Amino acid sequence: MSGNTTLFRDQVVIVTGASHGIGAHVATQLAAQGAKLVLAARRAAELEQTAAACRASGAEALVVPTDVTSEAECARLIAAAIAKFGRIDMLVNNAGLGMWSRVDAVHDLTIFERVMNVNYFGAVYCTVHALPHLKLSRGRIVCVSSLAGRTGVPLRSGYAASKHAMAGFFDSLRIELADSGVTVTIVNPGFVGTGTQGRNLGANGAPLGVSPVNAAAVMTPEECARITVAAAAARKREVVMTARGKLGLWLKLFAPGLVDRMTTKAIARGK
């Protein structure tokens, strides 16, 4: 948690992908600081569970079932937040969809479009509709990206492409907003043991059903959320969450082939 554990008191925060994993933990950690939460995801029942956990901390929580691939639903999410609370202080773009397949094994090419629609366009839609309100509050935009948004990763081509797109968009937006008071923070986790990796799309476009990640050997969603909330509080530009990730990005400048081999081994081990 950030040093000031009441920084977000009474701040209105929208969290997408809040039904499970990183998003749910970001929401509950912000709730513990007294934030007012607007929770978005497709699964209403799971959202209600997150909302209940937030309310247990004494926080207000509004549930807005949302498919972020729909611009109209993203606009409705922002409108619901304003109707309930009258302002927006932070948007956490966390909704995500993964894939796990070699490109030459993909049978259903719509997988690339589906992943891009969630990870990239979903963040764009929510941000553009929230931006006028964030300008009024001189607020924060937080994007949960990935190390795959900074370097190519085998078996994750569509996912890496969507996160690269996210990085390009939000790096550009940050510059445009330099004089507005609105800040953009991009966080780049490595593997996180969310327990939902079985939802990654496989070569046939269907969820894998089993997780390729060794959850016991990777970062917990609680820790990832803690780093994310702290980065948001400090209005950091970007955070790379793991020492291996930092080393890899540095090595990529001098020995990109070595980084390719490192990512291949990491994928094979699932950690």
| Torsion angle, alpha carbons of 52, 53, 56, 61, to 10 | -60
8 A C-beta contact, residue 213 and residue 268: no
Amino acid of residue 218: V
Length, in residues, of the chain: 271
Any bridge partners for residue 104, and if so which?
none
Sequence-distant (≥ 6) Cβ neighbours of residue 143 within 8 angstroms: 93, 123, 166, 170, 184, 185, 186, 187
Catalytic residue among 100, 159, 170, 191: 159
Q: How far is CA 255 from CA 146, 252, 261, in A?
A: 21, 5, 10
E strands, 127-257, are 140-144, 183-188, 238-240
d(CA 37, CA 41) in angstroms, rounded, equals 13
Q: 125 an active-site residue?
A: no
CA 52 to chain centre: 21
d(CA 133, CA 227) in angstroms, rounded, equals 25
d(CA 110, CA 141) in angstroms, rounded, equals 29
List the catalytic residues: 159
